[in-house]
């Protein structure tokens, strides 16, 4: 009898231990699944001035979200595109085929983005741009998204502004790249719709240093204004050479002007007008972003780093929201991104249309007394 009681007690204890162990295992936090997100951005070369902003904004968003994501751990894998399409393609192939990422935040320009887009689309990988603005991106595929407004909005807005300023005879001088082409095409289309006359249209290759022959043609054609969408290096050179040639003409440019390099040309920069997306720095979430960014990186974002970092920050936050719902299911992530409406980001209100684009308000700024300021005339 005693032996039977001992056996019963042993069985009871064993059952209790099994129950306790089971409860502990249930209550013990499960190890989070790791999901990889790729970032391709120009961290070296001429585009690094905004490429680092993309990486910084995305990293800051991920750092903040680490305390909010319940189901997954995110591993960020960073590749340097160096502002080169071939390098960007190689980086994308590595991220997709070796690292098995399902989402890539792409922080380089439109030409580089369009080189990578077919690879992402074929492999059903989300490719998300905070910076690319070219028209062709709208047709790049179902897995292609961006929260940077299209360049056509800038071109049309600038045409309307130029007309309101009383200029009716304008020449264009634009970079032969996807973003420059889009800016210029839509500017010309809208300008002519409003009754303006285009005196000449000239393009140049990125890296061009001597614009004198082209500028003398602009002078001969009798234009009273020049629209010069492109990259800051070339726009600064154009403005500098216009002053050297003593050509009396008003300059209008694109978003890339807002960089210290343009201010460095001194008086030649004064009075240039350009378009920018509107970012309300008075909003609470934007002010907090500035504060946290400065704490992490030492300085608040400025110039193009501001657009790049705010858009990348929003891109990462939106992607993380979809990953929380979808895990690594790229089709689910895609569908949830399309359903994103009125997301209150630091870079503006975000709603994706049926081709993965957003629409944001455009403002006009100018250079006055060596500073970039909102035009309030």
Which segments of 31-109 does DSSP mark as H helices, in order? 48-65, 85-97
Q: What is the pLDDT of residue 34?
A: 86
Same domain, 229 and 171: yes
Q: Does residue 234 sit within a domain? A: yes
Has residue 19 been placed in a domain?
no
| Full-model pTM | 0.85
Residues counted in the chain: 377
Residues (pLDDT < 50) of the chain are: 2, 4, 11, 23-27, 67
Residue 12, domain member (yes or no): no
170 phi, psi to nearest 5 deg: -130, 140
318-360 pLDDT tens trace: 999 999 899 999 999 999 999 999 999 999 999 999 999 999 9
Q: Could you tell me if residue 10 is inside a domain?
A: no
Q: Are residues 157 and 274 in the same domain?
A: yes
Q: Report residue 200: phi and psi, to 5°.
A: -160, 155
- Rounded to an integer, what distance in angstroms lies between the CA atom of residue 144 and that of residue 334? 9
Helices (H), 76-128: 85-97, 110-122
- Residue numbers of the domain that contains 222: 152-278+364-374
Q: Which helix (H) or strand (E) holds 190?
A: helix 178-193
Q: Please, which residues have CB within 8 angstroms of residue 86's CB and are 6 or more apart in sequence?
A: 115
CA nearest neighbour of 222 among 175, 168, 183: 168
Are both 220 and 350 inside the same structural domain? Answer: no
Distance from C-alpha of 357 to C-alpha of 374, rounded to nearest angstrom: 26
**Same-domain status, 261 and 189:** yes
Is residue 23 assigned to a domain?
A: no
Beta bridge partners of 76: 37
* Domains in the chain, number: 2
Residue 7 domain flag:
no
CATH code for the domain of 165 = 3.40.50.2300
Could you report the per-residue pLDDT of 185-229, keeping only the tens digit for each? 999 999 999 999 999 999 999 999 999 999 999 999 999 999 999
Q: Domain check: are 76 and 188 in the same one?
A: no
Q: Are 258 and 335 within one domain? A: no
Angle at 136 between CA 132 and CA 137, to 5 degrees: 45
Domain co-membership, 139 together with 287: yes
- Pair 260, 292 in one domain: no
Do 75 and 217 have their domain in common? no
Q: Distance (Å, rounded) from C-alpha 176 to C-alpha 180?
A: 6
Question: For the residues of 323-374, what is the DSSP string, one character each?
Answer: HHHHTT-HHHHHHHHHT--SEEETTEEE---TTS-----EEEEEEETTEEEE
Give per-residue pLDDT as tens, 275-296.
999 988 889 999 999 999 999 9
128 and 46, same structural domain? Answer: yes
Rounded CA separation 153/166 (Å) = 20
Is the domain of 134 the same as that of 240?
no
User: Please, are residues 62 and 74 in contact by the beta-carbon 8 Å criterion?
Assistant: yes
Answer yes or no: is 5 within a domain.
Answer: no
Q: What is the pLDDT of residue 33?
A: 79
Do both 219 and 290 map to the same domain?
Answer: no
- Residue 14 forms part of a structural domain: no
């Amino acid at each position: 009898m005693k032996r039977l009681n001992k056996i019963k007690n042993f069985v009871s204890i064993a059952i209790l231990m099994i129950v306790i162990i089971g409860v502990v295992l249930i209550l013990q936090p499960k190890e989070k699944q790791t999901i990889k997100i790729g970032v391709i951005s120009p961290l070296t070369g001429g585009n690094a001035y905004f490429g680092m902003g993309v990486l910084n904004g995305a990293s800051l968003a991920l750092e903040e979200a680490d305390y909010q994501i319940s189901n997954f751990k995110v591993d960020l894998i960073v590749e340097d595109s160096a502002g080169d399409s071939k390098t960007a393609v190689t980086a994308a192939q590595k991220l997709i085929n070796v690292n098995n990422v399902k989402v890539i935040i792409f922080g380089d320009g439109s030409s580089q983005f369009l080189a990578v887009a077919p690879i992402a689309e074929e492999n059903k990988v989300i490719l998300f741009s905070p910076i690319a603005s070219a028209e062709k991106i709208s047709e790049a595929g179902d897995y292609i998204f961006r929260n940077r407004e299209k360049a056509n909005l800038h071109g049309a807005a600038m045409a309307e502004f130029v007309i309101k300023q009383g200029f009716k005879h304008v020449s264009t001088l634009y970079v032969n790249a996807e973003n420059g082409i889009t800016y210029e095409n839509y500017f010309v289309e809208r300008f002519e719709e409003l009754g303006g006359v285009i005196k000449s249209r000239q393009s140049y290759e990125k890296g061009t240093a001597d614009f004198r022959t082209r500028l003398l043609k602009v002078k001969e054609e009798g234009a009273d204004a020049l629209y010069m969408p492109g990259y800051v290096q070339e726009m600064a050179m154009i403005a500098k050479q216009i002053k050297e040639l003593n050509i009396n003409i008003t300059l209008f440019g694109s978003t890339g002007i807002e960089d210290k390099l343009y201010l460095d040309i001194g008086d030649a920069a004064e009075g240039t007008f350009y378009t920018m997306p509107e970012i309300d720095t008075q909003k609470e979430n934007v002010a907090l972003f500035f504060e946290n960014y400065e704490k992490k990186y030492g300085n608040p974002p400025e110039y193009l780093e501001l657009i790049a970092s705010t858009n990348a920050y929003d891109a990462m936050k939106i992607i993380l929201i979809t990953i929380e719902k979808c895990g690594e299911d790229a089709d689910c992530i895609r569908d949830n991104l399309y359903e994103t409406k009125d997301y209150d980001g630091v870079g503006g209100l975000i709603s994706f249309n049926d081709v993965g684009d957003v629409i944001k308000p455009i403002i006009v700024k100018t250079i006055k007394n060596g500073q970039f300021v909102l035009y309030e005339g």
